[in-house]
Amino acid sequence: MAAAFVVYALLPWFRPSRAELAYQRWRIVLSDVVSGLLWGGFFLLPLGVIGGSVEAVTRVPGFTAVPWALALLGLLSFYWVARHASYLLALRDGGFDLYTLSGHESLAWSDVHKVEGVQITPPRWFIILSFAAIFLGGSRAARLGQAGRALIVAGSRVNGLRLTARDGSVRHIWISDQMGGQAMKNVDQLMDAIARADIERPSAPIQLKALFPPA
């Protein structure tokens, strides 16, 4: 574990220029930490309550399945953190280049038909599960910790932009964290470029319910 922390601390980080949009480094690091807590906390919860790993799996598998299902979401969140860490939008004359975990593409502003605001909130079932997990904690500290996490989930909201190309393809740019704070550097440069381009911009944002933002 110590070696893993050292390797993580020594990883090189890209420094974006004024014309490049990337997620702030400290947010990526914090997201890794939160993903680890989400996975580890829910994975260890039934082991602590029941008193052993074998007993948790063999004697009360139904009870164990609930926090372990939430722990799988923690593992999935590591993938989404990697997507954010590799994301780069480079503005250029007449368009932009987009670099993601899955590849690279170039798009001209003349090929963009519409730019809409998008807002994501967690689905109701996940909020209910988060609050239900409070009663699975064995100690007062564990219950209070889960209550705090459940409140964060219930109040989370991610803001972004949806770019619809003239061929019907869609691209999302997520510019805020779960609390609505700006998570990207140089967003003002992007908004200025969109304002200069002749692109339709509906005033009403799109409301989505999802655990993870679509690409």
* Residues 134, 210 within the same domain: yes
pLDDT tens column, 54-105: 777 777 778 888 888 888 877 888 888 888 889 999 999 889 999 998 889 9
pLDDT tens column, 47-66: 877 777 777 777 777 888 88
Measured distance CA(173)–CA(98) in Å, rounded: 10
Task: Give the structural domain span for 67.
Answer: 23-86
* Residues 118, 184 within the same domain: yes
- In this structure, is residue 76 part of a structural domain? yes
**What pTM, to 2 d.p., does this model score?**
0.69
The values of phi and psi at residue 14, to 5°, are -80, 140
Q: Average the pLDDT over 173-178 and give the result.
A: 80
- In this structure, is residue 15 part of a structural domain? no
* Residues 134, 197 within the same domain: yes
Contacts of 215 (CB under 8 A, 6+ apart): 83, 100, 102, 171, 172
Give the per-residue pLDDT at 53: 77
- In this structure, is residue 149 part of a structural domain? yes
- In this structure, is residue 11 part of a structural domain? no
* Residues 51, 144 within the same domain: no
- In this structure, is residue 47 part of a structural domain? yes
DSSP string, 137-152: -SSHHHHHHHHHHHHH
Give the per-residue pLDDT at 108: 93
Greatest mean pLDDT range, 78-82, 154-158, 204-208: 78-82
* Residues 75, 108 within the same domain: no
Domain end position, chosen among 51, 86, 121: 86
Average pLDDT, the chain: 82
Q: Structurally, how many domains does the chain consist of?
A: 2
Helices and strands (H, E) in the chain, number of each type? 7, 8
Give the pLDDT band of residue 154 (cuts 50, 70, 90).
low
Domain end position, chosen among 35, 59, 86: 86
* Residues 130, 207 within the same domain: yes
* Residues 172, 198 within the same domain: yes
